[in-house]
């Protein structure tokens, strides 16, 4: 037990040092995680214990802690293996114990790690290790033939065979040497060139990889999106990639650790073994490692881009109180139509065929709009979306309808349509029509609808199908969890898909909660969540602050204030002499903040200042949805075409995707325009995410329109 605590303390110190954080904050954060508390709960409700560490910092701590603990487990395994093999010298033990990265640990273990049969192991089996040792030590005794003759026998027939086998052992010894490997990696990182040539142009009929057909750059000069592109090109057989480094410099690295004594009869053997080691073993292995390192860096970057875009998309403001007609556009199978009321309840569905019978299509749409009092039309942005947009714009104008339309991303709608969640929600509806329902509802509440879709199917990233899929899924699940807990969930309306992301809940319990609600009726308070089988004290503690019960008699149940702090919230209300719904409460709280020492007030109330600040925020804006502060979607009544665009024209647009080189913006024409990173401001912009996010409504200026290629160049208006 003491040893476990010692390892944990060491890991905590290491994590704090790695991340540049105060150990007095990191240590309680780790303890809270180890005690089963979720990161959203710790970030929101345990600020006093962690010094106010936010979610991002806590997730960095969790990730780094996992790395450090994994490293300590591996260290223990390696030490045990070395001891069992009888090779654990005091010097080697000290090196293993002081190794500060997993790579260093593996380098130290590599010479002793059980291997498959190699040329070196076969030579050792023939008894040639002592001859290899003579080559390595550059003995000055005897002559070459005499030294080798001593090893001839049944297994070794000739002097040449003996020396060749010994050189194989030396080559492997050099390639496995930790310091040589480390220096070779540094050399490759600093001095190597990535050289790319075309392998088979016939595999690239559209010229997607043309810019890389004869491409060369420094190892450190490759951008993440370039790495992913050339990896894909290599996988598809279009490109051939080589990592090149000066052989003279590389052999110089080896020579520093294994110098040749020209007075030794075995000098030429060491020279030959060094060269063989570098070409056959050392460089190919290091090249694979460094290529993998590049890919890991690119994957991490791409996943971060995806997660940033996904969070922005999930936190788009809901369009409340609207009856929405959703259209899933299509040619051959027609456009699927679904109408949902202001609560998201499905009213009706239909299928229209604009390309076959335009008049009938217009009559059907007009009838549906009037019958169900539609206030907004929502069009998916897939195939035929712009043709559908033109149809709707014409209908609005010609019939003088007092409604607007918008276009939303339909990414993942087809995935949802065929999912178990869709079958449960819309059991009697044809799978082809469920996508239209999803498109309509995601305008009303993007978060509630998008959580029903596998995160990586939402499609707001960079090469998302090429990166490590497990790392991508884990990261995106984290993003969804963060978004859901930022907003909270109505306990009486939330779907299992939404509830499963609430702190402490999970998929199985989410299903149980909804089944309980269906069987016994709406929850009357947060406390009644405790009646659900499987919701114990710990689960309730983790979840309670993130669920809302607007119907509760206690208005605090519809705020982000945790039930454990209700007494403090009520004490604040008593101090102000106000109720939660008093219109003047917000003004009184602003006055309290100006006139009172909050640190002293927190001590009087028996809480910490961060918790008191959060309580005051919640009381000032009860029932507030944090998404409401953001600008909603652009609602249009008419359509533009590429031909309508002119340089210097200024328009409002919606950011659809943000990537390394810029942002794609929907300005209401058939193609999204591109704001290149160089057109995002007067100063240097290193990261497009610093300027825009997915879903942002921004003003842009048209720079250029290429009608032939359908490309629109834009500039951000600041």
| pLDDT, tens digit, 9 for 90 and up, residues 366-383 | 999 999 999 999 999 888
* 3-state class (DSSP) for residue 335: strand
Mean pLDDT (whole number) for 216-245: 93
Helix H or strand E segment including 122: helix 119-125
Mean pLDDT (whole number) for 531-545: 97
Q: What is the CA radius of gyration of the chain?
A: 33
- Position 695 scores a pLDDT of 85
Looking at the predicted structure, is the pLDDT value of residue 460 above 70?
A: no
Confidence of residue 259 (pLDDT cuts 50, 70, 90): very high
Dihedral angle at the C-alpha atoms of 346, 350, 354, 357, nearest 10 degrees?
Answer: -150
More confident residue, 669 or 24: 24
Query: Percent of the chain scored above 70 by pLDDT?
Result: 99
Confidence of residue 605 (pLDDT cuts 50, 70, 90): very high
Q: How far is 120 from 617, CA to CA, in rounded Å?
A: 70
Rounded to the nearest 5 percent, the helix, strand and coil shares of the chain are 55, 10, 30
Mean pLDDT (whole number) for 568-589: 93
Q: How far is 480 from 495, CA to CA, in rounded Å?
A: 14
- Position 459 scores a pLDDT of 65
Which domains, ranges and CATH numbers included, belong to the chain?
A: 2-112 (1.10.10.650), 324-480 (3.30.420.140), 519-629 (1.10.150.310), 642-716 (2.40.50.140)
Helix H or strand E segment including 712: strand 711-716
Q: How far is 547 from 494, CA to CA, in rounded Å?
A: 9
- Position 3 scores a pLDDT of 56
Confidence of residue 1 (pLDDT cuts 50, 70, 90): very low
Burial class (CB within 10 angstroms; exposed 0-12, middle 13-18, buried 19+) of 470: exposed
Looking at the predicted structure, is the pLDDT value of residue 2 above 60?
A: no
- How many Å separate Cα 47 from the centre of its chain? 25
The pTM is what?
Answer: 0.86
Q: How far is 102 from 100, CA to CA, in rounded Å?
A: 7
Query: Is the Cα dihedral 88, 90, 92, 97 positive or negative?
Result: positive
CB 458 within 8 A of CB 310: yes
CB 91 within 8 A of CB 45: no
Mean pLDDT (whole number) for 692-716: 89
- Position 660 scores a pLDDT of 86
Looking at the predicted structure, is the pLDDT value of residue 150 above 90?
A: yes
More confident residue, 660 or 46: 46
- Position 461 scores a pLDDT of 63
Mean pLDDT (whole number) for 55-74: 96
Burial class (CB within 10 angstroms; exposed 0-12, middle 13-18, buried 19+) of 339: buried
Instruction: Tell me what the pLDDT averaged over the chain comes to.
Output: 92
- Weakest mean pLDDT among 271-285, 394-408, 521-535, 561-575: 394-408
List the beta strands (DSSP E) in 355-475.
Answer: 376-380, 404-408
Helix H or strand E segment including 664: strand 662-666
Confidence of residue 197 (pLDDT cuts 50, 70, 90): very high
Q: How far is 182 from 61, CA to CA, in rounded Å?
A: 27
Beta bridge partners of 208: none
Q: How far is 716 from 718, CA to CA, in rounded Å?
A: 6
Mean pLDDT (whole number) for 226-253: 94
- Reported as a single tens digit per residue, the pLDDT across 343-365 is 999 999 999 999 888 999 999 99
Q: How far is 102 from 109, CA to CA, in rounded Å?
A: 11
Highest mean pLDDT (candidates 217-226, 413-422, 521-530, 618-627):
521-530
Q: At what angle do helices 609-620 and 598-605 cross, to 10 degrees?
A: 100
- Position 208 scores a pLDDT of 87
Burial class (CB within 10 angstroms; exposed 0-12, middle 13-18, buried 19+) of 456: buried
- Weakest mean pLDDT among 329-338, 471-480, 617-626, 632-641: 632-641
């Amino acid at each position: 037990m003491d040893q476990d605590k010692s390892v944990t303390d060491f890991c905590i110190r290491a994590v704090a040092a790695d991340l540049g954080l105060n150990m007095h904050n990191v240590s309680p954060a780790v303890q809270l995680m180890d005690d089963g508390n979720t990161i959203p709960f710790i970030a929101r409700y345990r600020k006093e214990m962690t010094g106010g560490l936010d979610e991002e910092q806590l997730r960095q701590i969790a990730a780094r802690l996992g790395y450090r603990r994994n490293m300590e487990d591996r260290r223990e395994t390696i030490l045990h293996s070395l001891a069992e093999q009888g090779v654990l010298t005091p010097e080697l033990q000290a090196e293993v114990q002081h190794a500060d990265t997993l790579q260093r640990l593996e380098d130290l273990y590599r010479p002793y790690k059980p291997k498959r049969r190699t040329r070196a192991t076969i030579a050792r089996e023939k008894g040639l290790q002592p001859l290899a040792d003579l080559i390595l030590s550059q003995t000055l005794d005897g002559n070459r033939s005499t030294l080798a003759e001593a090893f001839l026998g049944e297994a070794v027939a000739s002097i040449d065979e003996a020396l060749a086998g010994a050189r194989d052992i030396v080559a492997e010894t050099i390639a496995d040497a930790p310091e040589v490997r480390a220096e070779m990696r540094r050399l490759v990182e600093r001095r190597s060139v990535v050289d790319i040539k075309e392998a088979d142009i016939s595999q690239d009929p559209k010229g997607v990889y043309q810019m890389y057909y004869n491409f060369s750059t420094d190892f450190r000069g490759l951008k993440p999106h370039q790495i992913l592109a050339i990896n894909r090109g290599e996988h598809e057989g279009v490109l051939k990639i080589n990592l090149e480094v000066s052989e003279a410099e590389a052999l110089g690295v080896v020579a520093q650790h294994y110098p040749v004594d020209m007075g030794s009869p075995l000098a030429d053997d060491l020279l030959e073994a060094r060269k063989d080691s570098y070409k056959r073993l050392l460089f190919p292995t290091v090249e694979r490692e460094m290529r993998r390192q590049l890919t890991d860096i690119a994957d991490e970057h791409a996943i971060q881009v995806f997660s940033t875009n996904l969070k922005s998309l999930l936190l788009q403001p809901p369009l409340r109180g609207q009856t929405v007609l959703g259209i899933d556009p299509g040619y051959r199978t027609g456009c699927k139509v679904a109408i949902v009321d202001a609560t998201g309840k499905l009213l009706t569905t239909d299928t229209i065929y604009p390309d076959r019978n335009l008049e009938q299509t217009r009559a059907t749409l007009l009838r549906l709009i009037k019958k169900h009092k539609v206030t907004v039309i929502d069009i998916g942005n897939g195939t035929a979306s712009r043709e559908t947009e033109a149809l709707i714009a014409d209908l609005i104008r010609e019939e003088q309808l007092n409604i607007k339309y918008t276009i939303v991303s339909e990414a993942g709608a087809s995935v949802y349509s065929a999912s178990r969640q869709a079958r449960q929600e819309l059991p009697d509806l044809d799978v082809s029509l469920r996508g239209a329902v999803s498109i309509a509802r995601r305008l009303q509440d993007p978060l509630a609808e998008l959580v029903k879709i596998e995160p990586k199917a939402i499609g707001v990233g960079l090469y998302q199908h090429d990166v490590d899929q497990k790392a991508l899924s884990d990261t995106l699940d984290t993003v969804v969890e963060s978004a859901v807990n930022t907003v909270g969930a109505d306990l009486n309306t939330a779907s299992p898909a939404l509830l499963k992301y609430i702190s402490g809940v999970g998929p199985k319990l989410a299903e149980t909660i909804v089944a309980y609600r269906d069987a016994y009726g709406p929850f009357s308070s947060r406390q009644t969540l405790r009646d659900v089988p499987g919701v114990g004290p710990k689960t309730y503690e983790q979840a309670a602050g993130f669920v809302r019960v607007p119907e509760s008699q206690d208005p605090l149940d519809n705020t982000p204030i945790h039930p454990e702090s209700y007494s403090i919230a009520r004490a604040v209300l008593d101090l102000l002499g106000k109720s939660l719904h008093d219109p003047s409460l917000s003004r009184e709280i602003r006055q309290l903040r100006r006139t009172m020492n909050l640190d002293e007030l927190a001590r009087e109330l028996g809480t910490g200042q961060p918790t008191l600040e959060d309580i005051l925020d919640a009381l000032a804006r009860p029932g507030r949805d944090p998404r409401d502060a953001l600008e909603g979607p652009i609602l249009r009544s008419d359509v533009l075409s590429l031909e309508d665009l002119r340089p210097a024209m200024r328009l409002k647009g919606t950011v659809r995707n943000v990537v390394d080189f810029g942002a794609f913006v929907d300005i209401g024409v058939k193609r999204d325009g591109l704001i290149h990173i160089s057109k995002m401001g007067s100063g240097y912009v290193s990261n497009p995410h610093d300027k825009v996010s997915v879903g942002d409504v921004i003003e842009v200026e048209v720079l250029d329109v290429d009608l032939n290629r359908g490309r629109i160049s834009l500039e951000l208006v600041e």
